[in-house]
Homo-oligomer: A and B are copies of this chain.
Amino acid sequence: MKIRELALLIEGTIEGDDNVDITDLSGIESAGSGDLTFASDEDKLGLAETSQTACILTTRTSRKSTKPLIRVNNPKLAFLIAYNAFHKKASLPSFIHPLASIASSAVLGKNVRIEAYVSIEDDVVIGNHTTIASGCVIKAKSRLGESCRLGPRVVLHEGVILKNNVVLHSGVIVGDDGFGYVRDRGDIYKFPQLGTVVIEDNVEVGANSTIDRGSLGCTIIGAGTKIDNLCHIAHNVKIGKNVIMAAQCGIAGSSVIGDNVTMSGQVAVTDNVTVGRNVSIGGKSAVIGHIKDNAVVWGIPARDVGRTKKQMAVLSWLTQNFNGLSKLIRAQDQDKDRS
């Protein structure tokens, strides 16, 4: 493909030779001659120039280059669009493996793919174009929409609902019992865990994450939300739309996460709190109370990120100036003793 054609596709402006052939796309590290790569900042642009890359996708405002450039608003996004044009992922052929176990009462859509050792139980409904990889277990009455993709060894418990284009990666478990007990005079009683889970359109959940069913109501994952590996979503949690949650986060029971929230890795959110819309939560934070819309928080407990950083700086300064500080206080104590 000529870079002219590519520039059209991604609404970019060429700077330099517009007649170059692009044979593939790749990251800067491995860019060969004929490859297109992308550079979102000046450092990356410098790196890209030292590679064999044929052409660099970069911002509208970055400096000029010795290499042909295509200037776009968002180089990473443009790269992604170009990449998908070059590498149209062939959809897996539809088939039903003879070693799958499918209840006769299950209803399968058109063009589904069901791999080996999949167990599909009574009254399950599976939408058109949905693919279910080896070793998945779909318990009774679950309903999967269209074009869902379940990786190997996913478990859907009874009555779970996936809407359309939901991607669950390997080992994900949806709809297992929530963790609800009542302690009474030394004994522990299990609270009913009889709700369900609804996962809306275009959600993606990472490997080995777990999403528990509601106790009496529903656990809900909003449309467009992306959850990374090894995350834990407890019973009755409501996660909004277009949330991005990095790996190993845990959301405790009945908490509500607003639309467009971004969470870095290993964040914990306690039970029964509300995190507002557009909130950004730094890595390893502990959210122990409500968080307002648009807040940027970090820390244990999670507070405004500026405040947390200032506290860290103050503690650091006090530690460096500890001798003076302790003398002052001791001097005051001696004054008190003398008087």
Contact = CB atoms under 8 A, between A and B. Distances in A.
Interface of A: 26-27, 29-30, 74, 76-77, 80, 83-84, 87, 97, 99, 101, 115-117, 119, 133-135, 137, 139, 151-153, 155, 157, 169-171, 173, 176-177, 179, 181-184, 186-192, 194, 204, 206-208, 210, 212, 215-217, 224, 226, 228-230, 232, 234, 242, 244, 246-248, 250, 252, 260, 264-266, 268, 270, 283-284, 286, 288, 300-301, 307, 310-312, 314-319, 321-322, 324-329, 332-333
A175 to B, nearest CB: 9
Contact of A242 (B176, B188, B300, B312): B188
A117 B119 contact: yes
| Identical chains bound together, number | 3
Q: Which 5 A-B pairs have the closest CB atoms?
A: A27-B216, A137-B152, A119-B134, A179-B228, A207-B210
Given A216-B26, A268-B265, A76 B153 contact: no
A269 to B, nearest CB: 9
A133 B316 CA distance: 52
Contacts of A228: 179, 232
A225 B265 CA distance: 23
Contacts of A252: 246-247, 264-265, 283
Contact of A29 (B139, B217, B311, B327): B217
A55 to B, nearest CB: 16
Nearest to A323: B329
Nearest to A74: B184
27 contacts: A26-B216, A87-B194, A99-B101, A116-B119, A117-B119, A137-B170, A153-B153, A169-B173, A169-B177, A171-B173, A171-B210, A179-B206, A179-B228, A181-B226, A183-B244, A186-B242, A188-B226, A210-B230, A234-B247, A246-B252, A247-B250, A252-B283, A266-B286, A268-B283, A311-B316, A317-B322, A318-B325
Nearest to A230: B232
A192 B319 contact: no
Contacts of A283: 252, 268, 270, 286, 288
Contacts of A319: 307, 310-311, 314
A244 B264 CA distance: 24
Nearest to A28: B216
A171 B119 contact: no
A338 B170 CA distance: 70
Contacts of A115: 119
B135 A137 contact: yes
A311 B171 CA distance: 41
A249 B115 CA distance: 32
Given A152-B155, A188-B242, A173 B208 contact: yes
